Amino acid sequence: MLLSSRLMILVLLLLSFQAMGAIQEYAFDSEQEEDRFKKLTYEMRCPKCLNSNLAGSDAPIAADLRREIYDQITEGRSNDEIIEFMSSRYGDFILYRPRLTIATFFLWFSPAILLLAGFFIARRMMLASQLSGQNDGALSSEEQDKLQRLLDNQSD
Partner 1 sequence: MANEKKQPMNKRLKLFIPVAVFITMAGFLLFGLTRDPNIVPSALVDKPLPEFSLPGLYPETGEFSRADIVGDILIVNIWGSWCLPCHIEHPFLLEMSEKDPSLTFVGISYDDSMAEDRLFLEERGNPFDYNVVDLGGSLRIDLGVTGAPETFLVDANGMILYRHIGAIDSTIWKNTFEPLLAQIR
| Interface segment toward partner 1; rule CB under 8 A; list 14-22, 31-39, 81-89, 136-144 | 81-89
Q: Is 123 in the site for partner 1 (CB under 8 A)?
A: no
Is 108 one of the binding residues for partner 1 (CB under 8 A)?
Answer: no
Q: Which is nearer to partner 1, 6 or 124 (CB)?
A: 124
Nearer to partner 1, 93 or 119 (CB): 93
Rg of the chain taking only CA atoms, in angstroms: 34
Complete DSSP assignment for the chain: -HHHHHHHHHHHHHHHHHHHHHHHTS--SSHHHHHHHHHHHHHBB-TTTSSSBSTT--SHHHHHHHHHHHHHHHTT--HHHHHHHHHHHH-GGGBSS----HHHHHHHHHHHHHHHHHHHHHHHHHHHHHHHHHHHH---HHHHHHHHHHHHHHH-
Choose the binding region for partner 1 from 2-10, 11-19, 90-98, 143-151 (rule: CB under 8 A). 90-98
Residues 31-50 vs partner 1: string with x where CB under 8 A?
----------------xx-x
Asked if residue 89 binds partner 1 (CB under 8 A), the reply is yes
| Beta-ladder partners of 95 | 44
Q: Does 61 bind partner 1 (CB under 8 A)?
A: yes
CB of 73 to partner 1, least distance (A): 15
- Point out which residues bind partner 1 (CB under 8 A): 47-48, 50, 59-61, 64-65, 67-68, 87-91, 93, 114, 118
